[in-house]
A and B are shown apart, each in its own frame.
Chain A
Amino acid sequence: MMWLGWALAALGFALIFGQYAAGQADIFVSIANPRPLDEESMVVTLKGWGFAAQAAQPFVTPESDHGLCDVRLFATRRQMLVAIATFGFLRPVTVAWRANAGILPLGDA
């Protein structure tokens, strides 16, 4: 039965390591024909397995009157370790975005 214990332990480790690695993946959504400004980011912490969410700062960006150009969602190594260590109770993720400079019509010189 010893081998079964080791096998289950290895399986558990592989499951956790897989979550740790996959959680750092970069999910990237962009509009077509992007005209990006500088990137800004904030950390959102999901609490209680997603029942509540708290951002470190409000979602503001100074030049977003032409909307957003693209958004990235990812977790850093430290954020994934926090999530694993708290059994997922805390799940911090980084949201990064770039505002759109806008596409202005061709004018006359």
Chain B
Amino acid sequence: MPIVKLGEEGRWTNYHGTGTCEAATRFALRSGDAERGRDEIAIAAKSVQDWLAQAAAEKRRVRPLGAGWSPSNVNISSQSWLLHTRRFNRCFRMGADDVRPGIDAGALMLVEAGALVDEVSDKFEEQGRSLWTSGAGNGQTFAGASATGTHGSMIARGGIQDHIRALQIVTPAGIRWIEPDAGVMSDAFIAATGSTALRDDNMFAAAQLPVGSLGIVTALVVDSVPKFLVRPIQNLRKVDRAALDWLAAGDFRRFSAAYALDQDPDFVQMIVNPYKPFKRPAMLRFLYREPWRDDYPRATPGQLGAGYDALSLLGRLLNDYPWARGPLLQFAMKQGYASGPDIDAPPVYGSWGEGLDTHRPLADLFNASVTIDRADLARAFERICAVYARHGGSTVVTIRFMERAQGLLAPARFTHNAVIDFDGPRSQRTADAYARVVECLDAEGITFTRHWAKSCRLDAARVAADYGEDFRRWRAARDRLLPDPAHRALFGSEVLDNLGLTC
């Protein structure tokens, strides 16, 4: 049996130290050495199903844990059984016979649920392939990042869950292989994984972003594109107010021409100091995609500008010295992010995976976000910065851009999205300032959603209001997959129950 118990009941703390499971019993799901991936995941899925039955018999809730990355505490469940999946991390290439006619098997990979985004990226690059987007960090499991709608700032792409073409979910009632109506994998392949095929567009859209509430995801079929190079440009520039109108209109070329290269960017990100956002220089990051070539000069992740996701230092100073927040944040922006390469520096290149980093939190993290319609950016952004600064928010504010993401519960649900992140050191004052931002957007009538993995203070009523019909469809899919309320409760936790996802 590939599940082993890790010690006795105790405490477990998540990756960013934002939550603790008390009196939790830890188990680990491990990869085996089966020759074929389908055999391996069949064995694992059966073990997980038996484990779920044992947990139910012991009247304990369960929680699958990947990297334990989410600061929103969707990974926290006390007095429960925790299933660590990080050692269940093999990846497998597909054969032409494994897929349905018309599907390009060479673009797909079978991925066990514990594989990190970094591992998936590396394995694709071995095959001349690449992910087309991902979050700022690559230390989450691919399944976990997808389950919460993680995203980056590739302006023509959605979330990381858009890569998923099929997935295996284990519940006490069965082992299901979920795909869209059109199907992806051959019937023989699905049968060999020990799963029952469930081809349904609605179910698939629910399972692409399950927020850990639909069962235990054991395997994914992940799509890719041919490998490509990116050239990063990263600089500190004072940004003109008018530039927000260009961004709101999607004129990224004009923004790039003004602050970096006069060509179409594929990735645009702006990190600003909310204290005088247009008077102090903002940290700008652009990526320009180029065709792959083997002879590019290799650069380190730091030279490629990796690690741009959060400032995790200076928290106490920012909290204790409110009069100095503006200059301190500006200092932190200069020190905390990789500098350059600017437009006049020798160009550096890297693959998509080489430009990501597994950051290591050394201080308590606060992160939250709002996703708005990109068209609202100009009228929303200054208000957000003003409210956040006035109430003592002590993080930088980051703007990222993406298209509508797949999955019924994808926060990026507008056709074009601007995602505004508040990432930095944790303090109660910052959390309160973020709450004032939420109130301000509501008062202004600006529609927005919030990230499942971040500290966004959602509740069931708000989730239902934000996602409307899509939430009803998601719950209908959940009830079809988990018709027994006792099975839904098995995957519940205080946080997930409060979000209306498991009860």
Among candidates A26, A28, A62, A70, residue contacting B7 with C-beta atoms closer than 8 Å: A62
Instruction: Indicate if A47 sits at the interface (CB-CB under 8 A).
Output: no
Interface of chain A, helix or strand or loop or mixed? loop
What is the bound-complex CA distance between A108 and B68, given in angstroms?
28
Instruction: Indicate if B279 sits at the interface (CB-CB under 8 A).
Output: no
Name, among A70, A107, A108, the residue most crowded by chain B CB atoms within 10 Å (CB to CB).
A107
Number of residues of chain A lying within 8 A (CB) of chain B: 20
Assess whether A107 is in contact with B91, with CB atoms less than 8 Å apart: yes
What is the bound-complex CA distance between A75 and B360, given in angstroms?
18
Assess whether B92 is in contact with A109, with CB atoms less than 8 Å apart: yes
Instruction: Indicate if A106 sits at the interface (CB-CB under 8 A).
Output: yes
Among candidates A30, A35, A36, A107, residue contacting B90 with C-beta atoms closer than 8 Å: A107
Complex contacts, B90 vs chain A, CB 8 Å: 104, 107
| Contact flag A37-B86 (CB < 8 Å), given A107-B92, A108-B37, A109-B110 | yes
What is the bound-complex CA distance between A69 and B139, given in angstroms?
13
| Contact flag A107-B36 (CB < 8 Å), given A33-B118, A34-B358 | yes
Assess whether A106 is in contact with B31, with CB atoms less than 8 Å apart: no
Assess whether A38 is in contact with B126, with CB atoms less than 8 Å apart: no
Instruction: Indicate if B28 sits at the interface (CB-CB under 8 A).
Output: yes
Among candidates A33, A38, A109, residue contacting B93 with C-beta atoms closer than 8 Å: A109
Assess whether A108 is in contact with B127, with CB atoms less than 8 Å apart: no
Instruction: Indicate if B443 sits at the interface (CB-CB under 8 A).
Output: no
What is the bound-complex CA distance between A62 and B37, given in angstroms?
26
Instruction: Indicate if A101 sits at the interface (CB-CB under 8 A).
Output: yes
What is the bound-complex CA distance between A55 and B35, given in angstroms?
43
Instruction: Indicate if B289 sits at the interface (CB-CB under 8 A).
Output: no
Assess whether B119 is in contact with A108, with CB atoms less than 8 Å apart: no
- Which residues of A36-87 are within 8 A (CB) of B? 36-38, 62-63, 70
Assess whether B7 is in contact with A104, with CB atoms less than 8 Å apart: no
What is the bound-complex CA distance between A106 and B127, given in angstroms?
10
Instruction: Indicate if A103 sits at the interface (CB-CB under 8 A).
Output: yes
Among candidates A28, A38, A103, A104, residue contacting B360 with C-beta atoms closer than 8 Å: A28
Assess whether A108 is in contact with B92, with CB atoms less than 8 Å apart: yes
What is the bound-complex CA distance between A53 and B399, given in angstroms?
49
| Residues 152-186 of chain B, each 1 if its beta carbon lies under 8 Å from chain A, else 0 | 00000000000000000000000000000000000
Assess whether A109 is in contact with B95, with CB atoms less than 8 Å apart: yes
Q: How far is the CB of A40 from chain B (nearest CB, A)?
A: 10
Kindly report which residue of chain A lies nearest to residue B94, judged by CB atoms: A109
Assess whether B123 is in contact with A37, with CB atoms less than 8 Å apart: no
Assess whether B84 is in contact with A38, with CB atoms less than 8 Å apart: yes
Complex contacts, A62 vs chain B, CB 8 Å: 6-7
Among candidates B28, B38, B89, B358, residue contacting A63 with C-beta atoms closer than 8 Å: B28
Pairs across A and B, CB under 8 Å, 12 listed: A28-B360, A33-B118, A35-B89, A62-B7, A103-B119, A103-B122, A106-B127, A107-B37, A107-B90, A108-B36, A109-B38, A109-B95
In the complex, given contacts A107-B35, A109-B95, A109-B98, what are 11 additional A-B residue pairs having Cβ atoms less than 8 angstroms apart?
A28-B360, A30-B360, A35-B86, A35-B118, A36-B86, A104-B90, A108-B37, A109-B36, A109-B37, A109-B38, A109-B94
